[in-house]
Amino acid sequence: MQADHIWHNGSILTMDPATPHAQALAVRGGRLLAVGADKDVLNLQGPHTKLHDLYGQFVMPGLVESHTHALWGACRTLYDIYVGFAASLDQLLEATRDRCKQNSPDQIVYGGPWRPVMREEMGANPRALLDAISTDHMIVLHDASQHILWCNSRALQMAGIGDDAKDVAGGVIERDPATGKPNGILAETAGAPIRTLVDRTEAQLADASREFVRYFNSLGFTAFKEPMAFEEELRAYHAADARNELTLHMAAHIVHSSPLGDSLVPMDDMDRLRRTYASTNIRTDFAKLFLDGVVPGFTASFIEPYLAEGGYDVGSHDPDATLLIKPATLNQMLIDLDARGYTVKMHAVGSNAIRKGLDAIAAARAANGPSGLRHEVAHCNYVSDADLGRFAELGAVAEQSPKMWFPNPGTPIQTALLGADRVQKNHRIADLVHAKAEMTYASDWPAAAPDANPWSGLSGMLTRTNANPAYPGVLAPAQAITLAQALPLFTTNGARSLRMEADTGTLIAGRWADFVVLQTDLTQMPAPEIAAVLPQQTIWKGQIVHAA
């Protein structure tokens, strides 16, 4: 058979243990026809074959991003206030003031981020600061994690959160100590009514789809997972694929429980969404649950308490109090979702939430037998010693997300609330490698990550330092891993998490021609320099979808 395309004269890392290195790739019909030496692959040249001389450049499988809110991120780029993760409170307020001048009162003013270190500056009644900017516009500013919202009075009113609002299960409504009225800060499920105000048009979501595809392809991604899909997101992704604009493989984790929704999505409704929005490049046999929140809101569920000096009431510590789903209910959810064929991704930051997620996977294994589904613990920040080995035992995936394995804007607040010793066990990547856990790479962009750049993430795994000089130092250096240990998280393991290990993640004849071309051999680069990698080309299904 003659090839449509041949890339030759390269240094190719296949990620195939049987033949790890090659010089050339032949492609026909979007799939790899042959992978091997130049002299063998060039024999597949025909009169219509297009030759691509790599001039010694490095080639590896396309990257897989296992947890990114792609549409959110693109909307942030195109429509929202975004001042960066290092901006001051004054800079955020000024940007908000400017946006209110641009927007009509019927347009929500949305964006961020603000950081917990700003909380004292915001005062006892933070909504007053936003009211001073405008009471005509709805103003909603999210924190860096996007789990906590800061709202003005107009936004609270439009969401039906009045001065007499009652506490919300699974959420936090902060109150002015002088009046007892909501002060504008809402965490987890308490923010669900506010989030319904952030309404994107079909045209905006179409433009956002084009933007994230362009961005991801430019970074070397050929596949990704949307970790929290409601019908709005599913419809937008499906429309992009129908327009032949989705030049990425993707999986969408359909929401069953989320603090962004005010109730569980019934499993029969999930099945309808799964059937309706599956398409050529979109896999929908995936589900999402939230087990806890985030450290800055004291909503992440830990076995051990937060520090008293961080403002936490140690005496009342109950590990299960901050769980968003009670253990018995969670176990039954996993049993049912596993039986229906869903790969489940569970948001779990604290050690207790991670343990309960593993317990639920164990319950599903006991009830249903070995389904072959590799359920995922998302973020997986603080794994306890006793649970390290359970991932391998249960066939579960320890997703490493977000980019918090090196110093970053969130490190000081983590240290203040948890203590330096516990923070040194943040993202125990090396310990999980030694425990033979399967891991995947994820950024969680745009939540808690300023960008979706995988190369700075890869570099950080190897060095535990941040390539951005604004955040010096090293975080948990004992958890650094080697390049050989890290690359499967971005390739083969990522493909398995998509249920696509037979189609992508490795460069083997018969699989999709999904690969990225780099100027320099990644295996010969000093680890800090990997953060600056810029792909020269990204090829997806044999198409050049990005060229520098």
Beta strands 515-518 and 537-540: pairing type?
antiparallel
Provide the terminal-to-terminal Cα distance of the chain, rounded to the nearest Å: 31
- Residue 263 is predicted with a pLDDT of 84
User: In DSSP terms, which residues pair with 397 in a beta bridge?
Assistant: 376, 438
Write down the domain spans for the chain. 5-62+510-547, 80-195, 202-497
Per-residue pLDDT of 136-187, as tens digits, reads 999 999 998 888 999 999 999 999 999 999 998 888 999 999 999 999 999 9
- CATH number attached to the domain at 202-497: 3.20.20.140
Q: Is residue 351 helix, strand or coil?
A: helix
Of all residues in the chain, what percent carry a pLDDT higher than 90?
91
Of all residues in the chain, what percent carry a pLDDT higher than 70?
100
Res 23 pLDDT > 80: yes
CA distance 140 to 110: 5
> Is 115 in contact with 89 (CB distance < 8 Å)?
no
Other CB atoms within 10 Å distance of the CB of residue 529: 13
- Calculate the average pLDDT of the chain: 96
Enter the pTM of the model.
Answer: 0.93
- CA dist 183 to 75, 125, 155, 164, 451, Å? 27, 5, 12, 12, 31
- Residue 142 is predicted with a pLDDT of 95
CA distance 436 to 396: 11
- Residue 448 is predicted with a pLDDT of 81
Tokens (6 digits) for 278 = 């599956």
CA distance 105 to 547: 42
CA distance 212 to 193: 27
CA 260 to chain centroid? 16
pLDDT confidence band for 215 (50 / 70 / 90): very high
Q: Helix axis angle, 454-463 relative to 483-490, nearest 10°?
A: 150
Long-range Cβ contact pairs of 328-331 (< 8 A, separation 24 or more): 330/289, 330/291, 330/356, 330/357, 330/359, 330/360, 331/359, 331/360, 331/363, 331/364
The domain made up of 80-195 is a member of CATH 3.10.310.70: yes
Side chain identity at residue 61, one-letter code: P
- Residue 386 is predicted with a pLDDT of 98
Per-residue pLDDT of 227-273, as tens digits, reads 999 999 999 999 999 999 999 999 999 999 988 776 899 999 999 99
pLDDT confidence band for 446 (50 / 70 / 90): very high
CATH topology of domain 5-62+510-547: Urease, subunit C; domain 1 (2.30.40)
The region that residue 377 occupies, defined by phi over 0 for left and psi between -120 and 50 for alpha, beta otherwise, is beta
- Residue 259 is predicted with a pLDDT of 84
Res 351 pLDDT > 90: yes
Name the nearest CA neighbour of 149 among 120, 179, 211, 192: 192
Res 72 pLDDT > 90: yes
CA distance 240 to 381: 33
